[in-house]
Amino acid sequence: MKNTTFKYQKYDWEGISFPIVVSQIQSVTNHYIIPFDSELTIWRDNDYWLKGSIKGIVDDVNDLEYREKGEIKKVGFIHGETLKAKSKGSEFLIEGLGLNSLSLDPIQYDNGIKISFTCDIFLENIILINNSTIKSQIISEWYLCSLPEILFANRTTRYDKHPRYKIRNGIDLPIEKDFSQTKQLGSWDFVIVKYENYEIVIQNIQKDYLPPNIDGIAIEYRNIAGEFPTVEFRKMFREYISFILGTNIQKIGVSEYELGYKLLSCKSQNPWKRSIKKNRNINPIPLRNGSDRNYFESMLNRLLHNFNELYRKVSLSDCLWKLWIGSDLPIGTNLPIIASGFEMLVNTYLKDKKVLKKYTKEEKSIYNDLVQNEIDSLSKKLSSYEFRTFVLNKLKNPYNYGIGEKISIFFKSISIEFERGSLESEAIKARNLMTHQGIDVNTEEEQRKIKKISDAYVTLINRVILKLLDYDWYYVDYSKEGVNYLKMDENL
């Protein structure tokens, strides 16, 4: 991957330009005895994971052995090392570090033999420490993703020789007239989402900074009312954007700034999965409406409130995560994972809305008295049938609903109806068949059939969530080849 040294790096992408070399190393957790003057180099690989190497000289090779409470530990789990280090006057914290692939060479000195070492390292993150007393006014979170074609509503202007670097037109004060002739760059690259006292910017990232064949966005929070959104809100918002874009965006860092984008601190971290697939989006709705630049921004603002309300009441996060994980799995193994998330959504919705009646002990007693004679009679009549126990248990305890019954009640509750034998029905049934290996995927024809059913299940989940958000325009049908849009009241 190209070295991202473009001059706007520090405020248009993660604030650390890789590769970075640090030294003056101090251990915080003391799992390894790494010499102070060792040199540590960190970079990102093609999947954007943090990698590194370290070289230095030790008196004793045992200094590089993992230890806990001062004692070398040869077996069992290990904890990542935390180091402090410096580079060009800046101080960094490196977390989750471990050593591997150690190479040793003895060197003869006048006062004896020392050991020159080099080794690879793995790490979780690297943090540029804010040693100033200045409080952050902007937080930018950086994400890798697959971005469908979108028109952004607002324009950013970037200046070569000005302390404010860039101006977000419409929300930042314009630059002084004295700098009006300063060389500048401009791009339509962000939308604004407003929620209560929060003002959130979503920015498209220029290709110069990114790995090949992948996209990036920034989610920027501004301290408008004296505080930033909570961690819980930011998690919800990240999953909201992931749902709308149809891809689980991968966080790779966060930066904090003063107003005007003077960098105070930043953190670079590993994405949560190894690779991101471009153009595998399952966005639930059209993300573009002709040449209307305001469409995407308007839609994000319109659906956010209901998404946040729904997120707090039902297992929407679990449903979405299993949808994203299942969508990456091979055909034949994906549907049980996707369906289990949907079933969690169904269960929590029915509980939140109190759709299923809870019977009192008195009501249950009246029912038992009412059917006891019939149960005794059926017990004798069905004595030779293997399903006798199942039938009797259902009659004795009809208050417990199976997941199939709950799903039927759920669809009726949200006014989505489809016929027996429809593609939606086939998709819901296929979940059990896949779980119990009741589907043969060894033939090409069967593979196409299962793919269609899986895509139908994904489409159905998207449609259900949109319905719960009171969305009323078109949704995307993934069960057919090509791009297909259906109205919300249309079935597959």
Q: Tell me: the pLDDT tens digits for 297-351?
A: 999 999 999 999 999 999 999 999 999 999 888 877 888 899 999 999 999 999 9
Tell me the C-alpha distance between 425 and 430, whole Å: 9
Are residues 323 and 297 part of one domain? no
Amino acid at 371: V
- Please tell me the predicted confidence (pLDDT) of residue 321: 95
pLDDT band at 77 (very low <50, low <70, confident <90, very high): confident
Q: Does residue 218 have a pLDDT over 60? A: yes
* Angle, alpha carbons 120-48-228 (nearest 5°): 115
Residue 385 placed within a domain:
no
Comparing 179 with 295, the larger pLDDT belongs to 295
Tally of domains within the chain: 3
What pLDDT, on a 0 to 100 scale, did the predictor assign at position 163? 63
Instruction: Estimate to the nearest angstrom the gap between the alpha carbon of 198 and the chain centroid.
Output: 21
**Of 99, 126, 153, the domain-final residue:** 126
pLDDT on residue 4? 41
Domain membership flag for residue 218: yes
Residue with more model confidence, 63 or 388: 63
Q: Give a yes or no: residue 163 inside a domain.
A: yes
Residue 157's pLDDT is: 86
What is the model's pLDDT at position 261? Answer: 85
Q: Is the pLDDT of residue 274 over 80?
A: no
User: Which helix (H) or strand (E) is 215 found in, with range?
Assistant: strand 215-222
The predicted pLDDT at position 97 comes to: 96
- Greater confidence (132 vs 298) lies with 298
In the prediction, which pLDDT does 341 show?
95
Per the prediction, the chain carries an average pLDDT of: 88
**DSSP characters over 114-177:** EEEEEEEEE-SEEEE---SSPPPSEEEEEEEE-------SEEEEEESS-TT-EEETTTSPPPPG
Q: Is 235 helix (H, G, I), strand (E, B) or coil?
A: helix
**36-73 b/e with 16+ CB inside 10 Å = b?**
eebbbebebeebbbbbbbbebebeeeeebbebeeeeee
Do 187 and 118 belong to one domain?
no
pLDDT at 482: 80
Looking at residue 444, what is its pLDDT?
Answer: 78
pLDDT tens column, 81-109: 999 999 999 999 999 999 999 999 999 88
- One domain for residues 326 and 472: yes
Range of the domain at 30: 9-126
Last residue of one domain, picked from the residues 126, 151, 173: 126
Residue 1 above 50 pLDDT? no
Residue 253 near residue 267, CB atoms below 8 Å = yes
**Does the structure show a pLDDT above 50 at 5?**
no
